[in-house]
Structures are given as structure tokens and as C-alpha cells.
A and B are shown apart, each in its own frame.
Chain A
Amino acid sequence: QKEVEQDPGPLSVPEGAIVSLNCTYSNSAFQYFMWYRQYSRKGPELLMYTYSSGNKEDGRFTAQVDKSSKYISLFIRDSQPSDSATYLCAMRKGSGGYQKVTFGTGTKLQVIP
């Protein structure tokens, strides 16, 4: 079993829809959670960075962490065709010194105009 599980999709939604992207994980030591967006033939770009449980909002994006369920989500409101990309969740255990980051396999999202 992988430490981080993410549905690969593809997920296809109409423009303006609310998108929900999710990851589950098995290691309760993970404390820092990230979402990256990766356009085709580009490197991943950091979108959201959260610590422990709770919500964090940035514009149309909301990251949610539920440590009790070992479940994280990224919500995209009013989705746009420019949001079409692969979204990778990532997480690590601590903040001190070097901590290896574990990535999900990514969910491919297509927003149809």
C-alpha cells in the first residue's frame, strides 16, 4: 500500500463548477500538507501549503486537512479552463531540518468551457 493515495482521474467538469480533489494517507506522522499544480510539460507549481488540521483559503482555492481521517482535500470554486492541469498532493512529517516529501500520483483535471 502506498503512503499517499490519490485518484488519477481524469476528472472532467464544466466551467464554473466546484471541483473537489482528494488524497488519503496512511502515516499519521505527516503534519505538513501541500498541493501542487502541474501543467502539461511543466514542473509542479506550489499552490497551497497547510500545517495540521483545518482549512486554508486562497482566492478560489481552499485546502482542507482532516488528520483524524487522514484525508486532505483541495476545493476549486468557479473553475476555469485555465485550471485544467494535474494536481498533486504532497506531505511531510516535520519542519526541522530535512524532511522528505511524499507525493501523490496526481489527479488530472479538465475544465470544459
Chain B
Amino acid sequence: GAGVSQSPSNKVTEKGKDVELRCDPISGHTALYWYRQSLGQGLEFLIYFQGNSAPDKSGLPSDRFSAERTGGSVSTLTIQRTQQEDSAVYLCASSLVAREQYFGPGTRLTVT
């Protein structure tokens, strides 16, 4: 079946602009995660959605970052007033509850 998909695959934006990153999880997966991957930093947890429960936002680095998950499926990560330090690969993963995570290909964000 189809895996996790993310769009766009690459995004170049100017400092100060807002960006939206999209994630389509595996059908039937109720859990959805966003991570940020910077060179040499590993995967940094950003936010977790599970069904209708309140999301775990504890990893969001600032209030410029927000995420939504509509209808328990598609999720959008929004970064407002982008800064150069936001440049990274943003990865989305989905899973069944308490099971292994399956990752999308990521969105490579470059802030100039």
C-alpha cells in the first residue's frame, strides 16, 4: 500500500516568510508525528497527534511553529516568520498506536 507522503519535497523561502508543509499518513494509522532533522543533530521531535486527543506539542521550538491534523488524516506544519535556523529536513511519520513509526521522504526547507 501507499506509504507516508510529504509535500513539497523541497522548499526555498526568504527569511520572514511563512511556509506550510504537508503530510499524508498511511491510511488507518491514527498516530502522526513531525520531526526535524538537522545535520549532525539526529531527529528532533516536534509534535504528536493521536486520534481526537489533544496533541503533544512539547517539542515545538517556538510559537512560530504550529501544526494541525484535519479529519484524523492529513497534517500541516506551519512555520511563521521563518528564520535561517529553521533550515532543516522536516520528517513526518505515522503509526498504529504504540507501534513502529513509518516515515515519509521529508521536506527539505532552506531559508535564505
Contact B98 A103 (CB under 8 A): no
Interface residues of A in 53-107 (CB under 8 A from B): 88, 90, 95-101, 103-106
Contact B105 A98 (CB under 8 A): no
Contact A105 B104 (CB under 8 A): no
Q: How many residues of B contact A (CB 8 A)?
A: 22
Q: Residue B97 at the A interface, CB < 8 A?
A: yes
Known A44-B103, A100-B48; contact A88-B43, beta-carbon cutoff 8 A: yes
Q: Residue A113 at the B interface, CB < 8 A?
A: no
Smallest beta-carbon distance A53→chain B, Å: 19
Known A49-B100, A95-B98, A96-B98; contact A42-B105, beta-carbon cutoff 8 A: yes
Q: A99 to B43: give the CA distance in the assembly, Å.
A: 16
Residues of B within 8 A of A6 (CB): 42
Contact B40 A105 (CB under 8 A): yes
Q: A6 to B45: give the CA distance in the assembly, Å.
A: 17
Contact B100 A104 (CB under 8 A): no
Q: A43 to B4: give the CA distance in the assembly, Å.
A: 10
Smallest beta-carbon distance B37→chain A, Å: 9
Contact B98 A46 (CB under 8 A): no
Interface residues of B in 54-104 (CB under 8 A from A): 56, 91, 93, 97-98, 100-104
Output the nearest chain A residue to B104 by Cβ-Cβ distance: A43
Q: A97 to B53: give the CA distance in the assembly, Å.
A: 12
Contact A46 B101 (CB under 8 A): yes
Contact A105 B45 (CB under 8 A): no
Smallest beta-carbon distance A4→chain B, Å: 8
Residues of A within 8 A of B43 (CB): 44, 88, 90, 103
Known A8-B40, A44-B91; contact A100-B45, beta-carbon cutoff 8 A: yes
Binding site for A on B (CB under 8 A): 4, 31, 40-43, 45, 48, 50, 56, 91, 93, 97-98, 100-106, 108
